[in-house]
Structure 1
Amino acid sequence: MISALVWVPRGYSKNKQDEVDEFMSTSCIPDESFMQESSDGSSDSSSSVSVDDILASDLASLTHVDDAFSNDRDALDPQDEEEKEDLQYRDTDAVVICGLTEDEVSSLVFYVVEDTEDGPHIYPHHDLVLSSFPLSLAWSQVSSLDRYNCQSCVAVGSLIPQIEIYDASAIDELEPIAILGETRVSKLASDKKRTRRRQKKAADSEYHSDSVLSLSWNRNEPRYLASGSADCTIRCWDVSTCKSVRLWSHHEKEVQSVDWHERESTLLLSGSFDQTVSLVDTRVDQNTPSCRFSVHSDVERVCWLPSSWTCDASFQFLVTLENGTMGLFDSRRMSSDNNNCVALWTCNAHEKAVSACTLSTEYKGMLVTGSLDESLKLWDCKEERVTLVREWKSTGVGAIFATQFCQDKETSNWLALSGSKGKLELLDIFSVGDALAQHFPACVSSLQVGCASRNHRPSFIGVYSDEESLSSLE
């Protein structure tokens, strides 16, 4: 399954100097013919062979293989040259990072999305093995990690109580560049074969003591990363020092979702399985929420509306629930004096949990939700109302765990989604056609460009692996 995904905007994925050449050279393996030839060294049928003769033969064999390996590495064939070109990041490449678990092995898979005349094309670029099952991902350009010689970083929350940060541009990294949490936590901590659970630490310790379910990077102060955990706490980390600088423990159950405000760098939203939503202000010294209110089911996702929609939108946020409903709330209507906040609107969105949601920063009111019932829905939520625009009862990814719009303005119509079947899919939202123009007038000009060719493209483009690429139903 692919449990989480995140986009890397164009231009932020760049190869380091000589990185591709070094990766290619260290990835070469001697041909079987060389290995066979080395093992077929002259064998004397004589029953009396000295130790020196044996050692000399082995040394000659090793030297022969090493020379052949060196010559083979220096002369790359056309196929190797093509592979080398594929490994090069281009300024026009958008990248989707996915947390994939297959056959009990978890990894980060980096997919490149190219914009071609025939529509977007996806292919896997590289992957790296993770310590544990990935539960959440967050990307940021982090200037405060200059000491790691890294600008593009992806944070990974998993079943083990630590956050691993990887260089999102490197293609040959085996270890994270930073770890937030107890670095001595065993990679086997989440192994199903373990019969004894790790003893939980007190909530006021330096680190999380259980799985990291959600992550959010501060958009204005990227040195700060927020995390929500199954230990019922929220933490704010200073990634430049790898230390937890704030702790909130007001939730009574797992913290499923956290989200920093887009403009107000001190406001952090959270949602929990204790059926509450809270708003904390980091300017307040107390480790208690500024406001908190109850909802009628476990919280799946919380997210602020984009400030690009209007000034009012910057104070509003969406909450999706386990019972299939969702609602829009206004932070200005939250009160610290009571445990209630009236929704601007509510909606029975899906038959099962609304496990994924994403808002377009380019087109006002455009909302997409995904559910464990395997359906995907496009909504118009302008003017304090919500209207269903289009529904896909099945997308090919199974139960939907993650969705996100591309962050680049030129390709903001691309929507990535993933789920229980371990497949990444890309939806061109413009393929919705006339219904889209009726609800989102800003799309009209974009729809008119290349509309004839778009009508002949599949709505969804899916990728399973290097060997298998296919399209799902319209």
Structure 2
Amino acid sequence: MISSAAWIAKGKAAHHPTSYKVDDNELERVAKLANVHFEDAKAQFERAQRVAAGWHDGKEIGEDEGWEDDDKEEVKEDEAMDAEDEDQDTVTKPAAKEDPNDLSRYNLDNYDNDDNEATTMGPFSNIKGLQYYRNNDEDPYITLKEDPVEAQEEREELEVMPTDNMIITAKTEDEVSLLEAYVYIHEDANLYVHHDLMLPSFPLCLEWLDYKPSGGGEGSADQNSNVGAKGNFIAVGTMDPEIEIWSMDVVEGLFPDAILGQKDITEQLNAPKGTGKKKRKQAKERVPNANYHVDAVLGLSWNKLARNLLASASADSTVKLWDLSKPADENGGTNALRSFGDLHTDKVQSVAWDTSNSSRGSIGQPARLLSGSYDKTICVFDSRSPSDVVRASVSSDLESVRWNPWREHNFFVSMEDGLVQSFDARMLTKEKSASAIFTLSAHDGACTSLDISPHIPGCIVTGGTDKLVKLWNVEGDSSFEVNAANQDINWRPSSLSMVASRNLDAGKIFSVQFSPDDPLTLVAAGSRGVLRVWDALANVGARKTFGDRLRAMPNDPAKTAIRIDGNEPARGDGVVSLADESDNESDDGGHGGDVAMEE
């Protein structure tokens, strides 16, 4: 299954990704992040070398007193067994037809040499064979050196052009979890897997960011940049309490660039509590604290204006704020900058920084956060003064929250009962008495994901456990201009209509998201573990509904007009998948219909 998917905009990925390199700085960084004590391991290794070389005696190995006596007893037992074997040989020897004068079978000519070699034999006698080499050229055992032609071909295969998008998925298959990176070429409708990275735990959410985190030391998996430099990174929330940040410009990566949390402490929470038969039945209590999460990370949001800030939502009922410029402590962990533990009483499913009206150029309130929880409440608060939180109650568990990039203070939420609601943050109160601007019955099952187009005002997409992806039109919110209507607290849409509904053969939908570059192109993924890219311009209803708004887009209107009025047969069905996948799904309802609006 694919639990989450995230776009990477064109031009953000490195043209030529690099391979993961292991040097002294990287080993030191990994040791710090993973809390691995290499000095202890090195001491044990040197001790094994001395033992193998025959330099040990009983006094050197003081911790294992009595081992000599045990060996002597074993030697005596071996000698006794040899004596018995000799007696048996003596009994059976007359029956053997061998030349009694033939001594070649004893190999007496090499007897002394064998004896000398035996003194240095052991599991570590050929210690040179265990040495680690920084590259294959230094390793004498690798005689087939790297072919420069093949290296150049591999470099070209990994090339990501500035006109290419990347799509990152959080995938789990056969109990193996990984980040899978795809390259999507919109002009050719081409999608292929670029590389993947193994994850230690089941992934739940993804968030792209361009800020290079401090990491665990001087080194980093992305070894060509400094802290704060612009890069191409993915933050991953998993069933573990820690947040991992990976560079997507590094292939064959073995360890993340940074880990947020205290892994050495939270690992103990997974150990069984109690003794004997009751050990498995008793789980250690996970007590929330101000420094790190103690349960799964369910949601992430990166602040595009304060680039070093990352917000997280967790099953431990807290929202935490992380400073990516903060270096790891001596134990390899990183503590949160702030923790908000009084907002919710149950799992916090989703969190989002305020980006309202951002598509019209407004900065909004970049310090404001929106969170949604399984306690059926929504919270809006300033991260600098969380005591001024305002709330709203909803009818079901929250699945996702999104700020409206076309209207100030406006946000949308989707819920487990299939409803989508819109709120104005100015209408929320401390008493949770605010009412929704509108309510949309979007799906028969849970509405697991929603997104609002950054290109077309009034265009939203939803995905649900009914396996459908739906496009919606919010009529009356279609202007590109900034005016007083964008901030009218009494605004209501004139109508809501479903533009298109489609089963993309991805199973139950867990993630939908609009492309950051191409209007009406979106990605969807779910329980089948396959990725689908849908260019909804192939849908007649979408072109009719959003055509005028697409032509009015300020960026490259001529190119957009050509795509809207293009050759119909050449469009296909608009769905792009991997080349080796069969794609037989059909459009379930291009025109859609009016959907009843509740207030």
- 1:267 is aligned to 2:368: yes
Q: Which residue of 1 aligns with 2:501?
A: 391
- Count of matched residue positions in the alignment of Structure 1 and Structure 2: 430
Query: What code does the residue aligned with 2:243 have?
Result: I
Residue by residue over 1:386-426, the C-alpha shift from the partner in whole angstroms, topping out at 9 and shown as x without a partner, is 2111111x211100000111112xx2332111000111110
- CA 1:289–1:235: 2 relative to 1, 3 Å: farther
Q: Are the aligned partners of 1:132 and 1:190 in contact in 2 as well (CA < 8 Å)?
A: no
Q: CA deviation at 1:468?
A: 2.9
Q: Distance in 2 between matches of 1:103 and 1:221?
A: 39
Q: Distance in 1 between matches of 2:271 and 2:513?
A: 30
Q: Distance in 1 between matches of 2:345 and 2:266?
A: 27
Q: CA deviation at 1:443?
A: 2.6
Q: CA deviation at 1:185?
A: 5.4
Q: Distance in 2 between matches of 1:111 and 1:167?
A: 14
Q: Are the aligned partners of 2:15 and 2:162 in contact in 1 as well (CA < 8 Å)?
A: no
- CA 1:412–1:250: 2 relative to 1, 3 Å: same
Q: Which has the larger Rg?
A: 2
Q: Which residue of 2 aligns with 1:359?
A: 452
Q: CA deviation at 1:176?
A: 1.1
Q: Distance in 2 between matches of 1:239 and 1:458?
A: 42
Give the gaps of 5 or more residues in structure 1: 24-45
Q: Which residue of 2 aligns with 1:38?
A: none
Q: 2:392 aligns with which of 293, 310, 319?
A: 293
Q: CA deviation at 1:376?
A: 1.0
- 1:139 is aligned to 2:213: no
- CA 1:426–1:290: 2 relative to 1, 3 Å: same
Q: CA RMSD in A?
A: 3.3
- 1:406 is aligned to 2:515: yes
Q: 1:125 aligns with which of 190, 194, 217?
A: 194
Q: Distance in 2 between matches of 1:15 and 1:197?
A: 47
Residue by residue over 1:5-52, the C-alpha shift from the partner in whole angstroms, topping out at 9 and shown as x without a partner, is 1111111111568x35979xxxxxxxxxxxxxxxxxxxxxx9958769
Moved more, 89-98 or 145-154: 145-154
Query: What code does the residue aligned with 2:513 have?
Result: Q
Q: 2:523 aligns with which of 394, 412, 416?
A: 416
Q: Which residue of 1 aligns with 2:231?
A: 151
- 1:205 is aligned to 2:274: no
Q: Distance in 2 between matches of 1:331 and 1:440?
A: 31
Q: CA deviation at 1:114?
A: 1.4
Q: Distance in 2 between matches of 1:133 and 1:398?
A: 19
Q: Which residue of 2 aligns with 1:73?
A: 146
Q: Which residue of 2 aligns with 1:328?
A: 422
TM-score with structure 2 length normalisation? 0.65
Residue by residue over 1:99-148, the C-alpha shift from the partner in whole angstroms, topping out at 9 and shown as x without a partner, is 000111110011011133xx321111111111110011101111565338
- CA 1:149–1:331: 2 relative to 1, 3 Å: closer
Q: As a proportion of its length, which structure holds more helix?
A: 2
Q: 1:305 aligns with which of 379, 394, 404?
A: 404
Q: Are the aligned partners of 1:110 and 1:126 in contact in 2 as well (CA < 8 Å)?
A: yes
Query: What code does the residue aligned with 1:460 have?
Result: V
Q: Distance in 1 between matches of 2:451 and 2:271?
A: 32
Q: Distance in 2 between matches of 1:341 and 1:282?
A: 21
Q: As a proportion of its length, which structure holds more strand?
A: 1
Q: CA deviation at 1:340?
A: 1.4
Q: Distance in 2 between matches of 1:190 and 1:462?
A: 38
Query: What code does the residue aligned with 2:310 have?
Result: L
Q: Which residue of 2 aligns with 1:250?
A: 343
Q: Which residue of 2 aligns with 1:41?
A: none
**What is the DSSP-based 3-state SS (H/G/I as helix, E as strand, rest coil) of the residue aligned with 1:332?**
helix
- CA 1:259–1:319: 2 relative to 1, 3 Å: same
Q: Which residue of 1 aligns with 2:14?
A: 14
Q: CA deviation at 1:158?
A: 0.6
Q: 2:575 aligns with which of 460, 467, 471?
A: 460
- 1:232 is aligned to 2:326: no
- 1:341 is aligned to 2:414: no
Q: CA deviation at 1:240?
A: 1.1
* Superposition pairs of residues 442-453 of structure 1, within 5 angstroms: 442-444=549-551, 446=560, 448-449=562-563, 451-452=566-567
**What is the DSSP-based 3-state SS (H/G/I as helix, E as strand, rest coil) of the residue aligned with 1:184?**
helix
Q: Which residue of 2 aligns with 1:277?
A: 378
Q: CA deviation at 1:93?
A: 1.8
Q: Distance in 2 between matches of 1:190 and 1:180?
A: 18
Q: Which residue of 1 aligns with 2:163?
A: 92
